[in-house]
Amino acid sequence: MRSKKTKFIFVTGGVVSSLGKGLASASIGALLENRGLDITLIKLDPYINVDPGTMSPFQHGEVFVTEDGGETDMDLGHYERFTHARMSRLNNFTSGRIYNAVITKERRGEYLGKTVQVIPHITDEIKASIRQASQDVDVVIVEVGGTVGDIESLPFLEAIRQMRYDVGSQNAVYIHLTLLPYIGAAGEVKTKPTQHSVMKLREIGIQPDFLLCRTDREISRELKDKIAMFCNVDNGNVFTSPDVRSIYELPLELHRQGLDERLAEVLNIWSRAPHLEKWETIVRKIYEPARGEVTIAIVGKYVNLTESYKSLNESLLHGGIANDVRVKLRFVDSQDVEAQGPEAMLGGVDAVLVPGGFGVRGTEGKIAAVRYARENKLPFFGICLGLQMAVVEFSRTVLGLKGANSLEFDEHTPHPVVTLMESQVKVQDKGGTMRLGSYACALKAGTVAQKLYAQDNIQERHRHRYEVNNAYRGRLQEAGLVISGHNPELNLVEMIELSDHPYFVGCQFHPEFKSKPFAPHPLFSGFIGAALAQRDSSRGTTVPATATTTPVRA
């Protein structure tokens, strides 16, 4: 039995996609959490894939990995960054996952004698999934992906329509996010797209209680009243989600408008006044950093869609917050490094980061970027594939192992310094079968990694099939590659570094999944700190003694 009377906030979107439902949901969660409430968030995705793990980053953006190994929508990253709620695979459900669960039950005979239908069986499964993730919290924020009118979304919308009757009207509200476009030729903001979106939502039985209108300008009280009247919403329940310079300003902006107070009133929730000082500090450090700017080159394969590296981009920003410096990101296509050379593509940067990825395309460019950073003593950070490419480069250049490579990219390499994990050899299915989720890592005393974490044992999230080949580990260490972290159970390489380099660190895991603006990850804090030192050294200045690369803790 649930020990608390849980309230539900359902967030839907209309007109167009990419309006920011995920950020709006995360911001609402942050505001309610800061009012002393226990919250969680759920994302319902209409696509048929069981999860986004097999989807191209160009189509879907980043795949966010949870502690329990769930491959989930990137919005769960926003949820974790904005709040203290810990996401799991229970916080993201797709149409594919729901239908798969119902079909599995049908095959087991759980519906014997019944015709399995969208209503009630699919909608009941959706509602059961929401309830399963809603235990022992005060408020659950449920975001429905896609836009109203999409045929794929209809079962989810019907399920959340029913939930108001299940939990009581005083325990559930609907927030609809729409677009208020400014038409330059007419010189005015148009409300008709919002009116039509609400009309479509009402056709399927949902009357929104709140409207959150995405706009690039201030909206008058008169215009809000007009929207309220035509959309049958209370006058005080029309709010705007304006364009902001930083996503971390959105909770402050929504609070300024009184959205959290109005939600608490409508849901009859007793709560304290929110404590938003840490958000104000974060925004100030982003907008007015005391120590200028550093430039980080991200040498990747998916740079034409920066959403592919969403958590990574935000974690670098968090590292900037920890060091009170602005972080400028230069996205460099690794294929351009292959074509034009690293000198042409990486000149003038303060540090180089090589992120994760899959497939052979652009890998030689990543290897060239690693070599450039290593030989020119530029701060380097390699994540997942970035660590593997650093090992390949070191093997080729320092050890002299001609043709050294990863088996992922060359099955006939004479020196497979990166090899398929033993547990992956017989795996046939591609979805959900990688080494996923949180694993232990023991850090070597005296290393950069151990100093940054300030502890000996850590837990980090993984998403990969290949690993550093232990058969070459001894030779790599003899040549100067430091194995600064390993998994004690399987004896797998987790972290590497170079002792004769200002800052050269690689990790097999994805630290970006655990960084928050108010608790920057130590590896990103340290990396940006090293970039700052590199910048000041190249200018002939020194880092002030007051500088810190330690995480900012809430």
Annotated binding residues for ATP, written as ranges, equal 18-23, 75, 244
Instruction: Say which of 464, 501, 510, 521 is annotated catalytic.
Output: 510
Tokens of 113: 């004698």
Is 384 a residue of the active site? yes
Residues contributing to the annotated binding site: 17-23, 75, 143, 150-152, 190-195, 226, 244, 357, 385-388, 408, 465
Alpha carbon distance 203, 383 (integer Å): 48
> Going along 334-433, which residue ranges are E strands?
351-354, 380-383, 405-406, 416-420
Structure tokens at 535: 């910048």
Our measurement of the distance from residue 69's CA atom to the centroid of its chain's CA atoms, rounded to an integer in Å, reads 14
- In angstroms, what CA-CA distances link 8 with 133, 135, 266, 267, 525? 12, 12, 12, 9, 36
CA 450 to each of CA 246, 529, 539: distance values in angstroms, whole numbers, following the listed order: 32, 16, 29
- Active-site option among 338, 497, 512, 521: 512
How many Å separate Cα 191 from the centre of its chain?
A: 32
Residue 43, both tokens: 């994302």
- Active site includes 512? yes
SS3 505: strand
Please give the Cα distance from 291 to 269 (Å, whole number): 42
Rounded to the nearest angstrom, the gap between the alpha carbon of residue 475 and the centroid of all alpha carbons in its chain is: 37
Listing DSSP states for 30-79 in one string gives: HHHHTTT--EEEEEEE-SSSSSGGGS-HHHH-PPEE-TT--EE-THHHHH
What type of residue is 384? Answer: C
- List, as residue ranges, the binding site for CTP: 17, 150-152, 190-195, 226
Find the catalytic residue in 213, 231, 384, 441: 384
Query: Would you call 510 a catalytic residue per the annotation?
Result: yes
Reported as type and span, the H/E element at residue 201 is helix 192-203
Which residues in 157-188 are b (16+ Cβ under 10 Å) and which e?
A: bbbbbbbbeebeeebbbbbbbbbbbeeeeeee
280/303 Cα distance (integer angstroms): 31
CA neighbor of 142 nearest in space, from 196, 202, 73:
73
Catalytically active residues are: 384, 510, 512
